[in-house]
Amino acid sequence: MNSTTLFSMALGLQSPWQVNDISFSDDGSTRKELHLHIGFDRGSRFPDETGVACPVHDTVTREWQHLNFFEHHCFLHCAVPRIKQPMAKW
């Protein structure tokens, strides 16, 4: 089991979400940070509010601080998808 699989399981990510990259910063001070970059495969579809699977239009980059992993501060970085919804029929 590799580290991306381990952290995906620890975060409870389900397909199409996955941990793409992991970095650990140690600037020599007492603060050490774990950065997890979360993404999805190209071509993935996400449901709209009615449950219809829609293609991704673009993404917006977001960052959150997660609970610490052991004594290390943890940050999640994610390209949040914006979807193309079907045109409403009047």
Q: Where on the phi/psi map is residue 11: left (φ > 0), alpha (ψ -120 to 50), or beta?
A: alpha
Q: Flag whether 89 is in a domain.
A: no
Contacts of 37 (CB under 8 A, 6+ apart): 19, 20, 21, 22, 23, 77, 78
Tell me, yes or no, whether 50 lies in a domain.
Answer: yes
pLDDT confidence of residue 32: 85
How many structural domains comprise the chain? 1
Q: Is residue 88 part of a domain?
A: no
In a domain, 11, yes or no: yes
Q: Write out the chain's pLDDT in tens, 90 residues.
A: 788 888 899 899 999 999 999 999 877 667 789 999 999 999 999 998 888 899 999 999 999 999 988 888 999 999 999 998 877 655
The per-residue pLDDT for 72 is 87
Q: Please tell me the predicted confidence (pLDDT) of residue 89.
A: 58
Strand partners, 34: 24, 74
Query: How high is the pLDDT of residue 90?
Result: 54
Q: Which domain holds residue 23?
A: 3-83
Q: Is residue 90 part of a domain?
A: no
